A and B are shown apart, each in its own frame.
Chain A
Amino acid sequence: MTEKTDRDQYKEFVKERLKSLLSVVQSVSAGDFSVRVEIPEKEDEFTALSVELERMIDDLIEANRVGEGRMARLQAAVEEKERLLKTVGELSSPVIQVWENVLVMPLVGAIDSARATRITEDLLTGITKYQAEIVIIDITGVPVVDTSVANHLIQTIKAAALLGAKCVVVGISSEVAQSLISLGVDLSGMVTRSNLQAGVRYAMEMMGLEVVPQKRER
């Protein structure tokens, strides 16, 4: 049996330690953090490296934990946002009959494409249901009327006309009026009145109706 020289023994020792450290690094790379670095009792050339590697693995485990916590919170926030969006989407655009064949549709909030489609649908359903001839669309609650919103309004009014209902838009604020003029939107075909009361008066006129004081017997 050949006696191992000191050099050979040292080579063996280095090989063994490197093999064990490599095995740990490979496990961690694969996502297995359960392995631990062996730190022998007797301090040697590999002790410093082993200690630092162990520390690094601990840091990685902690970073993972924090990351997972953040992911969970982010996921919860995304789900909450989706629930909110769905709720907002379901806010119906009510169509209210205020007189025979006269409807009022108050619009509140921003009108995006999805809402605009629903608003048109709800309005057409209402016109059919109540056999409406006049629809008062109240946009007091719509904060910004840009070309997109104006376009949605125009399309809705066109669709209503196909069902034989005339629309009057009320609630345009002076700021919105100025913006619409600046935007160059052509609303000459649209009937408008300043507020809901004026809109109702218009509807009554169109229906050939008059509101008169009651005769009181003395």
Chain B
Amino acid sequence: MTETVQVKVAAEADVYVAAHQVKALARQMGFNEADQTRVETVISELARNIVLYAGEGAIKAQVVAQDKRRGLRIQAFDYGPGIVDIEQAMKDGYTTSGGLGSGLGGAKRMMDEFHIESAPGRGTQVTVLKWLRQP
């Protein structure tokens, strides 16, 4: 079983490639349909942000293990202009591109762990993690 997926994101088409591949990894791991859709949606949002704001970046997904549980860690990173005000960017509906918002708030709500690092001129790195629910 593959344990890592890495996709370079530089165009809109890559958003779908990344979402599809990471969803496949989530399915392989045993995530249920609802969680698979959440993963796919979060990848879609993060990858789209890369294309919209940085032009180029990458999505990396990895299976991680901690004690007895397994999870999927997703990193979205770019060397773009960075986010000036992270708190504002996390607000639903706030957008600098005429859309419905960056989906960062949504990504945080749909995942179990969320971490973002960004500064003007230093690019952006978003790391999210979803644990596999134990039956």
Contacts and interface: CB of A to CB of B under 8 A. Distances in A.
Interface of A: 85, 110, 112-114, 143-148, 150-151, 154, 173-176, 178-179, 182-186
A179 B41 contact: yes
A14 B13 CA distance: 62
Contacts of A144: 19, 37, 40-41, 44
A175 B106 contact: no
A151 B99 contact: yes
Given A112-B13, A184-B93, A186-B93, A147 B38 contact: no
Given A183-B103, A184-B101, A185-B101, 10 more contacts: A112-B15, A112-B16, A143-B40, A147-B99, A148-B45, A175-B38, A183-B45, A184-B105, A185-B106, A186-B100
Contact of A112 (B12, B34, B102): B12
A173 B101 CA distance: 22
Contacts of A148: 44-45, 48, 99-100
Contacts of B36: 175
A19 to B, nearest CB: 50
Contacts of B16: 110, 112
A164 B30 CA distance: 47
A183 B33 contact: no
B37 A183 contact: no
Kindly state the interface size class of chain B when it binds its partner.
Answer: 20 to 34
A126 to B, nearest CB: 25
B100 A176 contact: no
B17 to A, nearest CB: 10
B37 A185 contact: no
B42 to A, nearest CB: 8
B106 A182 contact: yes
Contact of B106 (A110, A114, A176, A184): A184
B19 A185 contact: no
B110 interface: yes
B122 interface: no
B9 to A, nearest CB: 13
A146 B45 CA distance: 6
Contact of A175 (B12, B15, B34): B34
A152 to B, nearest CB: 9
A78 B83 CA distance: 35
A114 B15 CA distance: 14
A146 B48 CA distance: 10
A197 B34 CA distance: 24
Interface string B4-19: 0000000011011001
7 contacts: A112-B15, A113-B12, A114-B12, A144-B37, A146-B41, A183-B105, A184-B93
Contact of A178 (B13, B37, B92, B100): B37
